[in-house]
């Protein structure tokens, strides 16, 4: 039986702390010290495991997309109807439940705002690619329906981050019609 090293045990703890801290402050305002404080360890130890803020942010983003993929898989597997549209709908519902805690949503928005940093842009592309590929292969939906699923998810991000679902204006009602977020 192998034993995990302290570093192997701390990486997931630090990744979780990085998700929470970067979700609050974004890439530009969050420091390694902020993440270390949230994780309850020294900044030097965080820097030893993640040599640079870019690597730490990318790790947080990878953790975010791993959680999204897990939720989509659970949603797809739980769908009583395994038809392509029903599976996409079930994945969408599972994602809506996942982002009830807005940390993962906020982290994705912050990643988009920091996409001028090559490592962040690549991690964001990788995550979106994994989600799109998973949605396509797991649902068996047409390319058009997968594109609509991803686009609908981005609309959901916009609605949630701006609070449009609570607005009485007709344009806001039009955008948020049929969209539910916990």
The reply to whether 99 falls in a domain is: yes
Q: Is the pLDDT of residue 142 over 70?
A: yes
Q: Is the pLDDT of residue 1 over 60?
A: no
Domain that holds residue 45: 6-176
pLDDT digits (tens, 9 = 90+) for 33-66: 999 999 999 999 999 999 899 999 999 999 999 9
Q: What is the mean pLDDT of residues 107-132?
A: 97
Distance CA 100, CA 119 (A): 28
Both tokens of 107, joined, read: 């982290």
Q: Is the pLDDT of residue 182 over 60?
A: no
Q: Give the single-character DSSP code of 102.
A: T
Q: How many domains does the chain have?
A: 1
The reply to whether 102 falls in a domain is: yes
Distance CA 2, CA 8 (A): 12
What is the predicted pLDDT for the residue at 10? 87
CATH of the domain at 50: 1.10.357.10
pTM, 2 dp: 0.90
Both tokens of 172, joined, read: 């806001």
Query: Which is more confidently placed, 162 or 29?
Result: 29
The reply to whether 158 falls in a domain is: yes
């Amino acid at each position: 039986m192998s034993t995990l090293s302290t570093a192997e045990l701390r990486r997931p703890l630090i990744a979780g702390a990085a998700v929470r801290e970067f979700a609050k402050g974004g890439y530009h305002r969050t420091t390694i010290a902020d993440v270390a404080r949230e994780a309850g360890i020294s900044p030097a130890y965080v820097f030893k495991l993640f040599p640079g803020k870019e690597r730490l942010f990318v790790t947080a983003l990878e953790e975010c997309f791993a959680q999204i993929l897990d939720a989509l898989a659970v949603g797809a597997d739980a769908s009583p109807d395994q038809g392509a549209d029903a599976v996409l709908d079930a994945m969408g519902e599972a994602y809506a439940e996942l982002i009830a805690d807005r940390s993962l949503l906020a982290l994705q928005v912050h990643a988009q705002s920091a996409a001028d940093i090559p490592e962040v842009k690549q991690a964001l592309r990788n995550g979106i690619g994994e989600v799109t590929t998973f949605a396509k292969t797991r649902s068996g939906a047409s390319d058009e329906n997968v594109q609509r699923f991803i686009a609908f998810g981005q609309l959901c991000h916009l609605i949630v981050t701006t609070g449009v679902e609570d607005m009485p204006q007709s344009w806001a009602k039009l955008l948020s019609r049929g969209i539910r977020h916990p």
